[in-house]
Amino acid sequence: MRLVSVIKNGISAMLAGEPLPENAVLLDVRNHKEFAKGVIENSICIPVAELQAKQAELVGQCKLDTPIIVYCASGGRAVRAKKLLTKMGYKQVINGGGIYHVAKKQNKQIVGY
């Protein structure tokens, strides 16, 4: 199933070895229980299930041309979030994959763990 997902949805920027933009907004799309365990510093936290309902909140923090790195626990929800954000009109949405990979790649701390 993982291979099918990779072929259908593309691989994350992390797995592709692409550099992640340093000026990007970090968007954590995990659920509230996962947020409570820890987040990457300076991330916006909106669960993927709430993205459409909280679109106004996101628009207040990110313009449509702002680079956004979406991450979750391992990358699956980030794929869904990337699709939703693209449909909302965001132009530079990057699937960063999982939280640990994004934190390492962006040289950021995970706070709360």
pLDDT of residue 57: 84
What residues are paired with 69 via a beta bridge?
A: 26, 94
pLDDT of residue 16: 53
Residue pair 25/44 in contact (Cβ under 8 Å)? The answer is: yes
Separation of alpha carbons 24 and 53, rounded Å:
22
- Give me the chain's average pLDDT, please: 85
Average pLDDT of 3-31?
65
Strand bridging mode 110-111 / 39-40: antiparallel
What is the percentage of the chain residues whose pLDDT exceeds 90? 67
What pTM does this model have? 0.82
Domain extent at residue 101? 2-111
Residue range 66-91, pLDDT digits in tens: 999 999 999 999 999 999 999 999 99
CATH number at 10 reads 3.40.250.10
Of the candidate ranges 18-27, 42-51, 64-73, 79-88, the one whose mean pLDDT is the lowest:
18-27
pLDDT of residue 4: 38
98 SS3 class: strand
pLDDT of residue 1: 38
Q: How many domains does the chain have?
A: 1
